[in-house]
Structure 1
Amino acid sequence: MAVDGCLLITETVLYFVVFFTGLISAVTVGISRVSFSGDCLLFAEVKWCNSTAFYFTELGSNGVCGFSVGLEIIACFYALLFGLYHVSIFFQWAKERRELLLPAIIINVLCLVLLFIDSCILSIGFKRFCASLTSGASLGSKVTDCATVPGDLDWNSGATCGTAQDKKTHGTYAGGNFFGFLTTAQGASWFGVLFWLIILVSCIVRRIRDKPALDPNSDKAPIANVTI
């Protein structure tokens, strides 16, 4: 029972951890959209006219950012629910229902796969936007890396260059600390994937250890409460 107790504690702590990583990722992606009038920067592309002016030739799909925010929120509140369920077991407010382990494993696998896809989307989409922003032929020393984008960069300078056919119309962009927000979103998302993997492994180990207790032909009675 000591091993089961340690695994359950590990899962409980990590459920609360992934709640916060998911919330951080969702909030930072959302804030980056607010700074850009609701537009998504993931997979967006820009074209520079000169060393100070550029315009957007492609805007990121709002569905991509919406998927990321929605998925992270759903996953983090599912984690919060299970974390509170585990806490209720520790304080003996509820008995542990071992038959929930298998459904939990299935849901955790689904969360892990979807969040892995989301993390890849965040990383690849942001990398593509940064590559476009820093690869202009006329950049000079204005922008050499996404991390060094000046805080006073004029994100609306495209009105003075390019053709109407090439430009993607958008609202007024404030820019803000887009690099910090999206870097935080990526980091939180990838840490979340790692922690979900650990949770999944812990659940599988507990399920394997519980097989004799859940077997109706076994002489081992199911244990309702966890003793550490």
Structure 2
Amino acid sequence: MAVSDLQLVVNTLLYFSIFVCGFVISIPLGVANTEASATCLLYSTITVSDFSTRPTINFSRRANCNFPIYVSVVGCIFYALGMGIYNLYTIYKSQRDPPVVSQMYVLPIILNTLGAFLMFICSCIISVGFKQFCDSLMDKPYKYFRCSRAQALDIVADGGKQTGSLKHFYTNINITQTASWICTLCWVLLVVSGIIRFVRDRRHQIRPRQDLDHGAIIEEEIDTEAHHEALSKVVEESSSETTSKMYDPLPVLEGAMRNPLPWFETMWKIVNV
């Protein structure tokens, strides 16, 4: 495979990495929500009224969990999969038509920038919401030294109507958080790679135009010099002909040999004067 297609291969691998991250983000977060009575644990808080009773969890809005799930499904799974397949097709097609690679970077740069921005927001939502929930678990009076130790905690939810445990919330959300930041990094690498490739292709397109313009200027200068040389030769020839006509003594001598009388009269007058 040509070295010029190496960047396209790397981009394809990044797209498929984002595709895998989409599942790793959405599935564990969805499982954590299901185990928490189909609500969202991000930004939730734990309150304890009495040491003898179970802690009460105040769930946050479901949008805090639904937004990262939707972005990971639409942007990371569907879009990244489509772009990965498209890049594979482009790699195959570039073996016969190499210039096709330089025609596919404008629109993906815009979409990848949007994807990187949305994924960064999702990563921040997950990380900050997870930290806030863990801080409430490790806060007094019901204090855990590590958030992971509260996974088997029995809780009261929905205003005391439901009881249960948090089960594997820490493992699931921690996996989602790690995958979201890895996915964000892949998006950023795609944006940087697309910009570098776009700038490089633009330079390759401008160079032939500059070479053609430079060649045209040189040809024009050569034609101008040739024209000046030809014009100089014509001027020299015409001036030499004029000079020979004005100062050539042969016609005067020939006239004196044929009729010497006017010549001697002229010379006599000059001497007598």
Relative to the length of structure 1, the TM-score reads 0.80
Match of 1:195 among 179, 186, 191: 186
Specify the alignment match of 1:206 in structure 2.
197
- Cα deviations across residues 43-69 of structure 1 (Å, max 9, x unaligned)? 00111221662112x311101111010
Q: Are 2:138 and 1:134 aligned?
A: yes
Q: Are 2:170 and 1:148 aligned?
A: no
Q: Where do 5+ consecutive residues of structure 2 fail to align?
A: 212-273
- Cα deviations across residues 64-114 of structure 1 (Å, max 9, x unaligned)? 111010011111121111111111122339974644311110111111111
CA shift, 1:170, in A, is 6.7
Q: Where do 5+ consecutive residues of structure 1 fail to align?
A: 159-166, 221-228
CA shift, 1:172, in A, is 5.1
Partners of 1:212 and 1:218 within 8 A in 2: no
SS in 2 for 1:155: strand
Instruction: Report the number of matched residues.
Output: 206
Specify the alignment match of 2:18 in structure 1.
18
Distance 2:164 2:20 in 1: 28
Q: Alpha carbon RMSD of aligned pairs, Å?
A: 2.7
Percent identity between the two aligned chains: 30
- AA paired with 1:177? H
SS in 2 for 1:192: helix
Structure 1 or 2: larger helix share?
Answer: 2
Change (3 A) 1:172 1:196: same
Q: Which has the higher contact order (CA 8 A, sep 6+)?
A: 1
SS in 1 for 2:79: helix
Change (3 A) 1:138 1:109: closer
- AA paired with 2:191? L
SS in 2 for 1:176: coil
Of structures 1 and 2, the larger Rg is shown by: 2
Distance 2:155 2:205 in 1: 61
Partners of 1:42 and 1:64 within 8 A in 2: yes
SS in 1 for 2:132: helix
- AA paired with 1:144? F
